[in-house]
Amino acid sequence: MLTIAIQNKGRLNEDTISLMKDAGISASASHRKLISDAKGFPLHVLYLRDDDIPQAVAMGVADIGIVGLNEVLEKEQDVDVRMNLGFGACRLSLAVPKSVDYPGLSWFEGKRVATSYPVILRNFFDENNIHAFVHEIAGSVEVAPAVGMADAIFDIVSSGGTLIQNGLREEDVVIRSEAVLISNPTIGEEKEEELAKLMFRFQSIIESRGMKYVLFNLPKEKVEEAVSILPGMKSPTILSLADPDWVSLHVVIHEDILWEKIEQLKSIGAADILVLALENVIK
């Protein structure tokens, strides 16, 4: 049976539990548990701090894990990144006080940079031939310049609000991160088979997120036009109606373009449009 390590509390915990739930796997969201058995899939769940997940997977304490790519890159443990999970998106960026007239990376030469990600930052400076002092700080990195502990910072940015609040400006994005599924490189054939099933479930959920199921009625002569409005759709489901001049079309549309497409469909005569939530698309 596979053992999965997930964050016990924090930013990734809730989205991890809900991805598993959508995939039919219920794990306890309890912050106090260390290990439990999931329901709906043969899986032990190990609850850890995110910092410890890459090592737990590399050591084989857990076979697989869900953690930010930033932690995987920082810890440099021997694990395989198997898939992106579509949540926990952020970037790791260099930021400088807003008063600085920033000429480019050369500005960092000889400067002190505070970060909780010293490995990623040193690698980046080495690649760019910059000689800077990397100061490792466990938390509240963004206050380091204001209190004179550093000239600049390297930290996680999501909305950018924290940087602005602290009088800092994002200058260089070093890596982009999101939650990923990692595995121990030598879990063996049997566990690989179980993992393939789990990844299949996750992939279906991720692909169906944001999709809507749309049904509408349309004059029969407009079907070709409707198909041209809905590109990427291999073949719509077309059902005949009691009125021989009309048909009913069923399609799947991403919510980002839903309203634009509905307006176009209405303009060619679509009527009685139903938009339904879509739970899963299994290919």
Is position 51 an interface residue for Zn ion (rule: CB under 5 A)? Answer: yes
**In this complex, which beta carbon is closest to ligand PRT, that of residue 88 or of residue 226?**
88
Sheet containing strand 64-68, edge to edge, reads 35-37, 43-48, 2-7, 64-68, 179-183, 80-84
DSSP-derived letter for residue 34 is: S
User: Near ligand PRT by CB under 6 A, which window of 8-16, 54-62, 243-251, 268-276?
Assistant: 8-16
The rounded distance, in Å, linking the Cα atoms of 26 and 12 is 16
Looking at residue 155, its amino acid is D
State the Rg of the chain over Cα.
Answer: 25
Is position 136 an interface residue for Zn ion (rule: CB under 5 A)? Answer: no
Report the nearest approach of ligand PRT to the CB of residue 260 (Å).
29
Is position 50 an interface residue for Zn ion (rule: CB under 5 A)? Answer: yes
- Binding ligand PRT (rule: CB under 6 A), the pick from 38, 45, 90, 265 is 90
* Other Cβ atoms within 10 Å of 228 Cβ, number: 10
- Binding ligand PRT (rule: CB under 6 A), the pick from 50, 113, 201, 253 is 50
Report the nearest approach of ligand PRT to the CB of residue 279 (Å).
26
DSSP assignment string, 151-198: SEEEEEESSSHHHHHTTEEEEEEEEEE-EEEEE-TT--HHHHHHHHHH
The CA-based diameter of the chain, rounded to the nearest angstrom, is 78
C-beta of residue 103 within 8 angstroms of C-beta of residue 75: no
**In this complex, which beta carbon is closest to ligand PRT, that of residue 159 or of residue 235?**
159
User: Near ligand PRT by CB under 6 A, which window of 49-57, 106-114, 187-195, 236-244?
Assistant: 49-57
Is position 54 an interface residue for ligand PRT (rule: CB under 6 A)? Answer: no
Summarize as ranges the residues that interact with Zn ion (CB under 5 A). 50-51
Summarize as ranges the residues that interact with ligand PRT (CB under 6 A). 7, 10-12, 49-51, 68, 70-71, 88, 90, 155-162, 177
